[in-house]
Amino acid sequence: MKKKYIFFDIDGTLTDNATKKIVPSAQKALDELQKNGHFVAIATGRAHYKARPFMESVHLHNMVCCGGNALVVNDELIQNIPLDREQSIALYHQAINAGYGVLAMLDDSIDLYGIDDTFVKQCGERQEPTRYVYDQNFRIEDAKDIYKLYISVPIDEEDCIPLLKEVGQLRFVDAYLTIQHDRKKDGIIDMLRYIDGKAEDVVVFGDDTNDLVMFDSQWTSIAMGNAKEVLKKKADYVTDTNTRDGIWKACKKFGWIA
């Protein structure tokens, strides 16, 4: 059996959106894939600190995270590249001057830094564990690294911040915009260089529009049955939904598990 390098998105692919837990048949597939000698990894936009507990809980040891700019190989974080510094500083000030709240992620943790609570007043608390660190003397220029920015700008007001057109971004909720790397494909390529793998042997599984970037013609792309239509159209193969054993069925169909 030829070794494959198989990368899985988390939410809606490995996990049931209703329970936020891995689908049992998906866990079984991960175990069997590893047993059969395949390289199995997570591919997620989540920050390393947030994605690692899930990676460990499903018995995996490799991961592309932080939108593609961080790599975990054999449980070791070997890369975590921050955002472009000058661009991020300029964007931060442009958003602040336009009247929007901005929070900055400066390290691999739940801490977010800002001058005040404008962000929370404008769009509410974030729906994930966050420790807000406010300091009226906060200067983004003093930060050693900038990993993400969160800006409380509504969808219909994004033109008020011209620099948004030049940066990687994702909008997971309507209330605010997340400035982060959106280069899962590049992260996978970085991983292949490190482990000496070939693109033609890569397989990716995904379900949402943020997975579009890693659905590439160099390798096999599989969309879940519950995936967005735009992703299904780009996929090489569409399997069943994640909760109807889509991952298990696809892996059996292609002979990666017995």
pLDDT (tens digit per residue) in 142-168: 999 999 999 999 999 999 999 999 888
CB 242 within 8 A of CB 226: yes
- Is-above-0.75 flag for pTM? yes
Query: Which residue is it, tokens 């200067």?
Result: 139
pLDDT of res. 168: 81
Residues 113-136 have a mean pLDDT of 95
Does the pLDDT of residue 116 top 80, yes or no? Answer: yes
pLDDT at 181: 84
> What is the strand order of the sheet 148-151 is part of?
131-134, 111-114, 102-105, 148-151, 176-179, 169-173
Beta strands in 67-175 (DSSP E): 70-73, 76-80, 102-105, 111-114, 131-134, 148-151, 169-173
pLDDT of residue 182: 82
Strands 176-179 and 148-151: antiparallel
Given a cut of 90, whether residue 48 has pLDDT beyond it is yes
pLDDT of 1 strictly over 80 = no
DSSP state of 13: T
Q: What are the angstrom distances between the C-alpha of 63 and each of 40, 41, 45, 106, 247?
A: 8, 5, 11, 21, 18
pLDDT for position 114: 97
